Amino acid sequence: MSQSRLDLENQPGYVYEPYRSTAARAPVQPLVFLPHTLSERTGPVFANVPISESDRDLTRQHAGEPVGQRMIVEGRVLDDDGNPLPNTLVEIWQTNAAGRYRHALDDFRAPLDPNFTGNGRVLTDANGKYRFLTIKPGAYPWNNHANAWRPAHIHFSLFGPSFVSRFITQMYFEGDPMLAYDPIFQSVPDKAKHRVIAPFDIGLTEEKWALGYRFDMVLRGPDATPAEPS
Amino acid sequence: MDRHHTTIQPIGPFFHFLTPEWGTSDRTPGIMARPDARGERIQLKVRVLDRAGKPVTNAMIELWQADANGKYDHPADTQDKTPDPDFQGFGRLASNDDGLCIFDTVKPGPVPGLDGDLQAPHISVSVYAPGLLRRAVTRIYFGGNAANDSDYVLSLVPEDRRGTLFAQPGAEPGEWDFDLHLTGPCETVFFDI
């Protein structure tokens, strides 16, 4: 009865003391292992969600161009077996170049950019590929501890094909010195940290236009269906 | 490329781009049942609470459920039934200043379980919030439903904690209340899926 899908060798647990708000919010009772039923094998389908050009190009959502370093973020979304997951809704949100979210509760004294909202959504194509054009987000302070800074990151939200595959993460940038000081990033076991760091990829850059970062994602699927007894 | 599952990180406090009206204009996230949806209409009030029982005002709740006929609008549901076109099984809302997410939906019908038996009507729930490093998953069942007594998934839950999974009738007809305790003495049962 010690079955677990938490994969704590590769994933954060619920409680991580240095990330202080886990103390009041993280579940501590044992989880109940749930055999996957139709309720877990199904999930919302978004293949018909309308996506416009400005949903995938965050630099073209306003009259003018946003300030900051233009960058492409591209990757593939795959299942457990390495198969591409097409028609998967990928939603992102991020700060502007100065590290400020366009959000009522963000009180960081950094400028808002009238030409940048920081939200995007796309569907993966037949090869599981997605691509955004955006600007590089900034770091920002938060209240977790004295002089706490979040490293620059882009939030990602994906559904995948089932309730099980639902996935939320944050994408960080290769070489960011602030990662060493961030308890949210540090909550990840060492051997899995690289999976949320996007490497710079010269092949994704556009000459005289934009930098490129690659961020591939592998989503978990439902357990294999037990074979019918013959 | 790396074949291991990508690492999970928390949603953070600034996710509300996800929760305003989205998709087509007549389907807002909290309204899952349109006027002509089949079945028993309910208003489901999910309240998110922390260790001290205080409302969590920056959580996101997602629901996934079958329609009133027990049909999921998804290719893996091979039952010979047509999904209700006036119903969407997915809903998501940000909690408000009272920690509440209020969904207009219908009571789901029973759906198949593991061995051909039917599961008691239930709604699958995902919870995200700052301070939750990964998604918390639970189910909402309907208190007083006789089918709960023979439900297989409920039978896996320790009896003294099973009550945390039952919504209870609210103040008005059709209202159901579900207090979701992330942790604390009344911690809701969460599932390992």
Per the structure block, which two tokens stand in for B140? 């909402």
pLDDT digits 0-9 by tens, A146-173? 999 999 999 999 999 999 999 999 999 9
SS3 B165: helix
Separation in Å, CA A147 to CA A24, A144, B152: 22, 9, 50
The dihedral sign for the CA sequence B37, B38, B41, B43: negative
Q: What is the pLDDT of residue A24?
A: 98
Q: What angle do CA A169, A172, A173 make, to 5 degrees?
A: 160
- Against a cut of 0.90, is the pTM above it? yes
Q: Is A149 on the interface with B (CB under 8 A)?
A: no
Do residues A169 and A185 make contact, with C-beta atoms less than 8 angstroms apart? no
What is the amino acid identity at position B50? Answer: D
Measured between beta carbons, the chain B residues lying within 8 angstroms of A26 are: 131-133, 182-183
Per-residue buried b or exposed e for A46-58, using 16+ beta carbons within 10 Å of the residue's own CB: beebeeeeebbbb
Establish, for the pair of chains A and B, how many residue pairs have beta carbons separated by less than 8 Å. Answer: 218
Q: What kind and span of H or E run contains B184?
A: none
Identify the residue among A22, A32, A170 best suited for mutation to test binding to B, counting B beta carbons within 10 A and taking the highest. A32
ipTM of the complex: 0.95
Please tell me the distance in Å from A53's CA to the nearest CA on chain B: 15
User: Looking at the partner chain, which of A3, A105, A194 has a beta carbon nearest the beta carbon of B13?
Assistant: A105
Q: What is the pLDDT of residue A217?
A: 97
Note whether A168 contacts B131, CB cutoff 8 Å.
no
pLDDT digits 0-9 by tens, B119-155? 999 999 999 999 999 999 999 999 999 999 999 999 9
Per the structure block, which two tokens stand in for B186? 């009344």
SS3 A183: helix
Report, in this order, helix, strand and coil percent for chain A, each rounded to 5: 15, 25, 60
pLDDT at A227 over 60: no
pLDDT at B28 over 60: no
Do residues A41 and A164 make contact, with C-beta atoms less than 8 angstroms apart? yes
pLDDT at A96 over 70: yes
Note whether A162 contacts B76, CB cutoff 8 Å.
yes
